[in-house]
Amino acid sequence: MGVLAARLYPKHWRERAGGALWMRLTNEISYLKLAGAMALVGAVAGAALSFPQRYVSAAAIRITPLTNPAEPLNRAEAAMRVGSRAAVLTDLALSRGVLRKAVARFDLYPEERRRIPLEDVMERMRHDLELRPLRAASNDGAAVFQLTFEYPERDRAQAAVHWLASQLEEASAGLNGREEDDWQIWARGLTDREIRAAVLRAPPALGEQVEVLERASMPAPAAGPRRWAFVAAGLGAGLLLGLLAASAIRRPGWMLKMAAFALSGAALAAAASFLIPDRYTSAAVMLIRPPLDAKRWYGARGAVPVAERVRQIADEVLSSGSLAEIILRPSLDLYAKQRRRSSMQSVIAGMRDRDVRIAMRGSPPDCTFEISFTYNDPLTAQMVVRELIDRIMEANFDDIRVRAAGASPEFRSLLECKMGENLEMYLPPTRPEDATSPNRPAIGGTGFAGGIVLGAVVLEIRRRTAMAARPAPSVS
């Protein structure tokens, strides 16, 4: 019926309408061709980006649990101790101090260091480093781990792994050396001749022996990136750009207005980000070691899990009274502006929820936990972390002193020889060099996206308003 009705119109009208329809279809096809071409270019570019080769160098590290031959460990205990030492070594390898030294020593990630903060560069290196089990535990409980580092340059990948493996070996030897010294003190402090004779006949070797079997392998090509993911991402980005280009050709005025909104949003967001003060994070790592003789140390009280012990200390150090003393310390004078506007309890709550953190990192028996504080001045952030460490040590000492009053001679002997539950510094507080926030590129990107959304809404409202104000066509 539609075709028959169309034939009732004059021939010249039908030819003009058909030409307009054909032109419209041709234009739409041209736009689709442009979008398709851009999508193809994006896919090719994505494939090209996936091809830069990266190399992996690896070091083999064997961890063997060392114990008193008179009291051998079972396989479960040995596996737990090996896993604990591997966790401690992983924490060390990924710590800010070690990563910062590695980046500076081998001039790693030079391009990234020019574009992004050092904290983000170290996060990138954490992603490229890995310490993973290589072989299962043998009969003596020893297990082999592999430390790998992936990097675009062969020589630097190998040199960095060689240095990191040495750092881990030295750190583990330092821990064992302190434990061996404690054993000597313990042996000298014993009064029971039979126990002392047994110790002297079979000197107990605490800790785990960390031996680097292979310092750094010749770098091998890393497993290629997921090129199909790069191709798909390039395809999608090219298609989006093609559609935007087609829209710009088809509706240049509308696209210019949208671009103005987007750029204005990005500029306003970027400018506003500079009103946000830079914030710096300082962090330290402490090691908590279980007592040498848990039965004598805990007695009828019963053993306290390490995670629970850290939580108890954190609750005391982060109590309202403790944090108020830190805030009001004249050398720190924290949150001066906030204290003028809000109550002390509100300031303390904000500090506890946002800026200060005490969190477990390792696993039993030797566990590490991190103390960090974020503030708008790097030196102050470092000083607060030192103050928190002092309070942690003081809280631990006060708890032990209370327990020592009226305790058994065995407990006091362990305490005097420092063979009880010990807290010690593992990694000292860092001096932040780069701000951890605000993330200005992300803020600018958010403003750009917000400008697009706002522009679309405003232009759509204006279009509908204009259509509503347009006079209705007259009917003759």
pLDDT in tens, 189-238: 555 554 444 444 444 445 577 777 777 788 777 665 556 676 777 777 77
3-state secondary structure 171-210: HHHHHHHHHHHHHHHHHHHCCCHHHHHHHHHCCCCCCEEE
Position with higher pLDDT, 115 vs 92: 115
DSSP assignment letter at 430:
P
Q: Which of 4-8, 297-301, 404-408 shows the lowest per-residue confidence on average (mean pLDDT)?
A: 4-8
Q: Which of 59-68, 360-369, 395-404 shows the lowest per-residue confidence on average (mean pLDDT)?
A: 360-369
**CA 154 to CA 159: how far, in whole Å?**
9
Span 383-392, pLDDT tens digits: 999 999 988 8
- Residue 474 belongs to a domain: no
Residue 474 has pLDDT above 60, yes or no: no
Whether residues 84 and 212 fall in one domain? yes
Whether residues 109 and 174 fall in one domain? yes
Residue 347 has pLDDT above 90, yes or no: yes
Span 122-143, pLDDT tens digits: 888 888 888 888 766 565 667 8
Which of 171, 422, 190 minimizes the C-alpha distance to 292? 422
What one-character-per-residue DSSP string does 52-95 give? S--EEEEEEEEEEE---TTSPPPHHHHHHHHHHHHHHHHHHHTS
- Domain with 261 in it: 2-49+226-276+438-468
The answer to whether residues 427 and 285 touch, using CB atoms and an 8 Å cutoff, is yes
Whether residues 288 and 314 fall in one domain? yes
pLDDT at 196 (0 to 100): 47
Residue at which a domain ends, from 225, 240, 264: 225
The answer to whether residues 435 and 278 touch, using CB atoms and an 8 Å cutoff, is yes
In three-state secondary structure terms, 212 is strand
**CA 145 to CA 138: how far, in whole Å?**
13
Rounded to 5 degrees, φ, ψ at 299 are 60, -140
Distance (Å) of CA 285 to CA 216, 356, 390, 401, 433? 27, 14, 13, 24, 18
Residue 179 has pLDDT above 70, yes or no: no
Residue 334 has pLDDT above 90, yes or no: yes
Q: Give strand pairing partners of 64.
A: 209
Q: Give strand pairing partners of 425.
A: 286
Residue 400 has pLDDT above 80, yes or no: no
Whether residues 340 and 429 fall in one domain? yes
Whether residues 58 and 199 fall in one domain? yes
Q: Which of 63-77, 251-265, 396-410 shows the lowest per-residue confidence on average (mean pLDDT)?
A: 63-77
Q: Give strand pairing partners of 153.
A: none
Count CB-CB contacts under 10 A for residue 291: 17
Whether residues 341 and 457 fall in one domain? no
Whether residues 138 and 173 fall in one domain? yes
Residue 154 has pLDDT above 50, yes or no: yes
Q: Which of 43-57, 98-112, 269-283 shows the lowest per-residue confidence on average (mean pLDDT)?
A: 43-57
Cα torsion angle, 80, 84, 89, 95, sign: positive
- Residue 473 belongs to a domain: no
pLDDT, mean of residues 162-178: 78
Task: Calculate helix-pair angle for 227-250, 252-273, nearest 10 degrees.
Answer: 120
Q: Which of 112-121, 182-191, 285-294 shows the lowest per-residue confidence on average (mean pLDDT)?
A: 182-191
pLDDT at 25 (0 to 100): 44
Count CB-CB contacts under 10 A for residue 122: 21
- Residue 271 belongs to a domain: yes
Residues whose CB falls within 8 Å of the CB of residue 416, separated by 6 or more in sequence, listed in order: 189
Whether residues 315 and 264 fall in one domain? no
Angle at the Cα of 358 (from 342 to 432), degrees rounded to 5?
Answer: 80
Whether residues 112 and 211 fall in one domain? yes
pLDDT at 3 (0 to 100): 46
Structurally, the chain folds into a number of domains equal to 3
pLDDT at 345 (0 to 100): 93
Query: In the structure encoding, which two tokens stand for residue 267, read together?
Result: 């500029």
Whether residues 185 and 246 fall in one domain? no
pLDDT at 136 (0 to 100): 62
Position with higher pLDDT, 357 vs 88: 357
Whether residues 153 and 208 fall in one domain? yes
Local confidence band at 348 (pLDDT 50, 70, 90 cut-offs): very high
What one-character-per-residue DSSP string does 280-336 give? EEEEEEEEEE--SSHHHHHGGG----HHHHHHHHHHHHTSHHHHHHHHH-TTT-TTH
Span 7-57, pLDDT tens digits: 554 555 555 555 554 455 455 666 666 667 777 777 777 666 666 678 888
Q: Which of 2-6, 354-358, 360-364 shows the lowest per-residue confidence on average (mean pLDDT)?
A: 2-6
The Cβ-side half-sphere exposure at 37, using a 13 Å CA radius, reads: 8
Local confidence band at 374 (pLDDT 50, 70, 90 cut-offs): very high
In terms of Cβ atoms closer than 10 Å to its own Cβ (0-12, 13-18, 19+), residue 13 is exposed
pLDDT at 1 (0 to 100): 46
**CA 158 to CA 102: how far, in whole Å?**
12
DSSP assignment letter at 351:
I
pLDDT at 67 (0 to 100): 62
User: Percent of the chain scored above 90 by pLDDT?
Assistant: 11
The answer to whether residues 248 and 38 touch, using CB atoms and an 8 Å cutoff, is no
